[in-house]
Structure 1
Amino acid sequence: MNKSYTVLISLIVALGGFLLGFDSAVISGAIKGITTYFEMTDAMLGFAVGCVIFGAMAGNLVAGPLADRFGRKNVLIVVAALFAISASWSAMATNYTEFIIARIIGGVGIGGAILIAPIYIAEIAPPRLRGSLVSFNQLNIVIGISVAYFSNYFLVDYGDQSWRWMLGVEAIPAVVYFIALFTVPKSPRWLIQKLNKVKLARKILQKIGGEEYAEITVNEIQRGLAKKEKKGRLRDLFKSKYATIMIIALGIAFFQQITGINAIFYYAPTIFEQAGGSTDSSFLQAIVVGLTNLIFTLVAIWLIDRLGRKPLLLIGSSVMTIALVMAALAFNSAKYEFDESSLRKVDDYQIFTTLTELRGNTYDNQTALFEAVKPKLRDDQFMEFKRSHVTNFISINASLVLVAILLYVAAFAISLGPVMWTLISEIFPNKIKGIAISVVGFFNSLVSFSVTQVFPWELTNLGPTWTFAIYAIFSFIALLFVYRFVVETKGKTLEEVEDLLIRT
């Protein structure tokens, strides 16, 4: 078994995950800059952040079929080019529309990378290493997130338009990925399935695991293909024999995003500012979030082929629920105090003058605060107060908020984060894999887009308490879903998984 060669291939392909993670998190540092430069409302900001997921939906829809037709490797090369174009263009954008288009192009790259990289790795990896190697993609995603937070921290004071540097630096790893992809082989399963190039596939498999492994794997691939008479289509996904597979895939795809992970990653500094932190401390805390994500993703890679997929999902969703409840309780116990120190932080003179009437007052929750402030301000001033000034008055156990967020991220990193992509790369048979992966990926992105789009509105109108409480409820439902529906795939070949899940 040439483990080092297989690991090297997987690491190169998984660089797409690095770009995905970097692209996802880097916007968190640019939020203030782009909001000011493009004069955004809450809705415009939500779309500017979430439109990358809108683009990912398009990438999800086309990536699977294109990968089936032209090969996994070729699609990933195009993905790398899209990342480079998006990073450069978004950094140079001069108007809101141009910025959105550039972000959507990057989203198409995300949609392709998040689906095709795990498929490629699953198809070249030996069964006993598959879970760990597929998790390389998730590992690179979290490394990308961590690097983005570090990059934002060091660039935040780099001039009046530091956000341009934050977004543009992504072009460098994108070009490296583009070049590196030319060194990896094509998927042996795709070569046999699409081109019937058995000799070339066998040669690649021999380099991965030796002659005996190559012969066994080629025979299994051909045995699996012998069952299929024609290429799968969208309507095939609704056949009763695939019901179990689709329930698992769509359910996990839904709960991975509805529990709020991208809201945390995209708005981490904003959340910590809601807890009363300064800009610098909020960026530093975001770095801690990224590092926590990285460390526990490494734990997941170590455990996924030892403990299994389902146990990790059960443990992770349980701890996520507890952490989200902690965050909701922390914000629920916050108080809002109008004293000299907090009032001096308001930099809008008209708002400051009006709010001095409330000097000495304390409010036990955000609802009471807004009820007291709203009658005293114009509608535009009240919106500005909710977006920019409410954090000046909060008195909260910020340490509890940080611990809750870190616990939540750690639990996600050992469960729904890496396990979802491992599962969906394993459970679909070759006949419907391309179209099924695209449909599930599109659904996952749709849920993610909805969460990201709504989050600024939730923070402004519902407050952080109810926002985190809603995520906690969904996390608990996710726990029940995993217990009831998810099956274990650890240690099984892709063909054995197919036999286990398809109803005959």
Structure 2
Amino acid sequence: MNKKIILWSVIASLAGFLFGFDTVVISGADKTLQELWNSSDFFHGSVVMAMALWGTVIGAIFGAIPTNKLGRKKTLMIIGILFTISALGSALSNDPWTFAFFRFIGGLGIGASTIAAPSYISEIAPSKERGRLVSLYQFNIVFGILIAFLSNYVLSDTGENAWRWMLGIQVVPALIYTLLIFYIPESPRWLLSNNNHVKAAQILKQIEPDSDVERIISDIKNSNKDVKVTETILSDKYRFPLILAFLMAAFNQLSGINAFLYYAPRIFQEAGLGQSTALLSSIGIGIINLIFTLIGVFLIDRLGRKKLMFIGSIGYIASLGLVSAAFFYGWTGMLVPIFLFLFIASHAIGQGAVIWVFISEIFPNQLRASGQAFGSSVHWVLAAIIPSLVPIFFSEFGAGYMFAFFAVMMVFQLLFVLFLMPETKGVALEDMELSLKFKKINYLTNSSC
């Protein structure tokens, strides 16, 4: 594979590192901030902890606008600036509302990154390698999560202002990422959709030096012609990919993954582990997540998206069922961490590896950012709602019922994978619409029998 494509993909995917770090770093400051500002469970969960997620929702809903208007590259650069401002502002905040405001800004960066980064990588990647390259974004998310857990553990003994260091350290990777974005070129498919034929041809020549660039450009332009100016992702002809994006994104959060990552130390303490052991177990979660994400990245273009989702669904159901049983029957010690390690492994090899790849593939070039925005919005609306309810759910119902609910949702995901989800492995982006049409016809035919 062209080394330049790998390097450009790695740089763009570093937005995922900032995403993962920003999402999880707050877990180390969770209880400290609630005690510092004497916040109720509702205020702490819905404002202090969840404000970044609401920023992510807004970033996901409107992130397609700069991605389409300014281009993928400029949007990625803006994302780096947002993360830098958020990290610095959060670390220096002295009240919950100021803190929530700067966390909201970081959320905007996360939401926009889930659109711009996968779209960019999918548009520069060869069909046979697209799954692995786009899933570098997910790899960097889990790498960021692991580094956040490690960072929180290392900084936890730095005094009463440890939480400031935990949040402020993100300034360093955010600045490095922003500078690296200057190196990458713009997406040639975005350039062609904006009638910049010459520059697109130059970049395509770098991506595929041995290919007929004019033929590639002709294929892309012919694909773009199929999308009328007045069409949107809400048009009837795109209803099937819209349903696929909705279900993929919804099931991702109905697994409980963000609820768990935000409150990992608290969940471990509920299971009877001490604070120090809980933090160490959180690091273990990060390591398992990283290992199985690497396995998912390795397999996604070999086994395909559908098989990984099937494996992940079975693992979800087993692990979440065991975690729920552990809380109901009072199993203590390391059983809950072991079951949650299995849960994380199932997520990493299934939903974690597949979601951003799959959603970035199923919409046509000119509607890709909008389709990605729709899927990301569904994902992040649920990601904002579910974690914000965790403190209340814990106190009112208990952890057992919460994990039982997530297990039932994963049974429905398994049915989605078996009967509705198409395989997109190895299909050229310009051929994807035709491939989905056949899948839709087969699905409707089988449903009517």
TM class by smaller structure: over 0.9
What is the Cα deviation at residue 238 of structure 1?
3.2
Aligned to 1:488, the other structure's residue is in SS state coil
Task: Tell me the residue number matched to 2:447.
Answer: none
The 5 Å alignment of 1:164-175 reads 164-175=164-175
1:413 to 348, 353, 375: 348
Distance (whole Å) between structure 2 residues aligned to residue 279 and residue 322 of structure 1: 27
Question: Are residues 490 and 213 of structure 1, via their aligned partners in 2, closer, same or farther at CA, if it must alter by over 3 Å?
Answer: farther
The 5 Å alignment of 1:76-91 reads 76-91=76-91
Distance (whole Å) between structure 1 residues aligned to residue 205 and residue 96 of structure 2: 52
What is the Cα deviation at residue 199 of structure 1?
2.1
Distance (whole Å) between structure 1 residues aligned to residue 72 and residue 27 of structure 2: 31
Distance (whole Å) between structure 1 residues aligned to residue 180 and residue 68 of structure 2: 21
Distance (whole Å) between structure 2 residues aligned to residue 138 and residue 175 of structure 1: 20
Q: Does 1:263 align with 2:262?
A: no
- The aligned amino acid for 1:478 is Q
What is the Cα deviation at residue 61 of structure 1?
1.7
Task: Tell me the residue number matched to 1:324.
Answer: 320
Task: Tell me the residue number matched to 2:11.
Answer: 12
Distance (whole Å) between structure 1 residues aligned to residue 144 and residue 303 of structure 2: 26
Structure having the higher Rg: 1
Distance (whole Å) between structure 2 residues aligned to residue 72 and residue 441 of structure 1: 16
2:384 to 441, 449, 465: 449
Aligned to 1:313, the other structure's residue is in SS state helix
Q: Does 1:222 align with 2:237?
A: no
What is the Cα deviation at residue 431 of structure 1?
3.3
- The aligned amino acid for 1:295 is I
Q: Does 1:251 align with 2:250?
A: no
Task: Tell me the residue number matched to 1:485.
Answer: 420
- The aligned amino acid for 1:82 is L
Task: Tell me the residue number matched to 2:106.
Answer: 106
- The aligned amino acid for 1:65 is I
Question: Are residues 65 and 231 of structure 1, via their aligned partners in 2, closer, same or farther at CA, if it must alter by over 3 Å?
Answer: farther
Distance (whole Å) between structure 2 residues aligned to residue 220 and residue 313 of structure 1: 31
Distance (whole Å) between structure 2 residues aligned to residue 198 and residue 468 of structure 1: 52
1:239 to 232, 235, 238: 235
Distance (whole Å) between structure 1 residues aligned to residue 230 and residue 139 of structure 2: 32
Distance (whole Å) between structure 2 residues aligned to residue 213 and residue 419 of structure 1: 30
Task: Tell me the residue number matched to 2:444.
Answer: none
- The aligned amino acid for 2:50 is G
Q: 1:453-474: per-residue Cα shift (whole Å, max 9, x none)?
A: 1111111111111111011111
Task: Tell me the residue number matched to 2:280.
Answer: 284
CA contact (8 A) 1:326 1:400 kept: no
CA contact (8 A) 1:124 1:188 kept: yes
What is the Cα deviation at residue 438 of structure 1?
1.6
What is the Cα deviation at residue 231 of structure 1?
5.3
Distance (whole Å) between structure 2 residues aligned to residue 18 and residue 311 of structure 1: 26
CA contact (8 A) 1:118 1:425 kept: yes
Q: Could you list the runs of 5+ residues in structure 1 that have no partner in the other structure?
A: 335-395
Q: 1:264-289: per-residue Cα shift (whole Å, max 9, x none)?
A: 11111111111111111110000000
What is the Cα deviation at residue 36 of structure 1?
1.4
Q: Does 1:65 align with 2:74?
A: no
Distance (whole Å) between structure 1 residues aligned to residue 212 and residue 327 of structure 2: 56
Distance (whole Å) between structure 1 residues aligned to residue 278 and residue 40 of structure 2: 22
Task: Tell me the residue number matched to 2:445.
Answer: none
Distance (whole Å) between structure 2 residues aligned to residue 398 and residue 427 of structure 1: 44
Q: Give the stretch that moved more between structures: 133-142 or 207-216.
A: 207-216
CA contact (8 A) 2:305 2:354 kept: yes
Q: Does 1:93 align with 2:93?
A: yes
Distance (whole Å) between structure 2 residues aligned to residue 118 and residue 417 of structure 1: 13
Task: Tell me the residue number matched to 1:128.
Answer: 128
Distance (whole Å) between structure 1 residues aligned to residue 214 and residue 38 of structure 2: 62
Task: Tell me the residue number matched to 1:364.
Answer: none
Question: Are residues 213 and 170 of structure 1, via their aligned partners in 2, closer, same or farther at CA, if it must alter by over 3 Å?
Answer: farther
Aligned to 2:50, the other structure's residue is in SS state helix
2:375 to 440, 457, 463: 440
Q: Could you list the runs of 5+ residues in structure 2 that have no partner in the other structure?
A: 442-449
Distance (whole Å) between structure 2 residues aligned to residue 284 and residue 214 of structure 1: 52
- Count of residue correspondences: 438
Q: 1:60-118: per-residue Cα shift (whole Å, max 9, x none)?
A: 12211221111000011111000000000011111111011011000000001122100
Distance (whole Å) between structure 1 residues aligned to residue 139 and residue 366 of structure 2: 29
Task: Tell me the residue number matched to 1:40.
Answer: 39
Distance (whole Å) between structure 2 residues aligned to residue 91 and residue 431 of structure 1: 39
- The aligned amino acid for 2:300 is I
Q: Does 1:275 align with 2:271?
A: yes
TM-score w.r.t. the length of structure 2 is 0.95
Distance (whole Å) between structure 2 residues aligned to residue 156 and residue 269 of structure 1: 13
CA contact (8 A) 2:306 2:417 kept: yes
Task: Tell me the residue number matched to 2:446.
Answer: none
What is the Cα deviation at residue 418 of structure 1?
2.1
CA contact (8 A) 1:72 1:186 kept: yes
Distance (whole Å) between structure 2 residues aligned to residue 261 and residue 217 of structure 1: 39
Distance (whole Å) between structure 1 residues aligned to residue 114 and residue 366 of structure 2: 20
- The aligned amino acid for 1:479 is L
Distance (whole Å) between structure 1 residues aligned to residue 85 and residue 380 of structure 2: 21
CA contact (8 A) 1:231 1:432 kept: no
CA contact (8 A) 1:297 1:413 kept: yes
Task: Tell me the residue number matched to 2:199.
Answer: 200
Q: Does 1:428 align with 2:424?
A: no
Q: Give the stretch that moved more between structures: 475-484 or 205-214.
A: 205-214
- The aligned amino acid for 2:30 is I
Q: Does 1:499 align with 2:434?
A: yes
Task: Tell me the residue number matched to 1:339.
Answer: none
Aligned to 2:207, the other structure's residue is in SS state helix
What is the Cα deviation at residue 475 of structure 1?
1.0
1:459 to 391, 394, 400: 394
Distance (whole Å) between structure 1 residues aligned to residue 149 and residue 369 of structure 2: 33
Distance (whole Å) between structure 2 residues aligned to residue 469 and residue 437 of structure 1: 30
Distance (whole Å) between structure 2 residues aligned to residue 40 and residue 296 of structure 1: 37
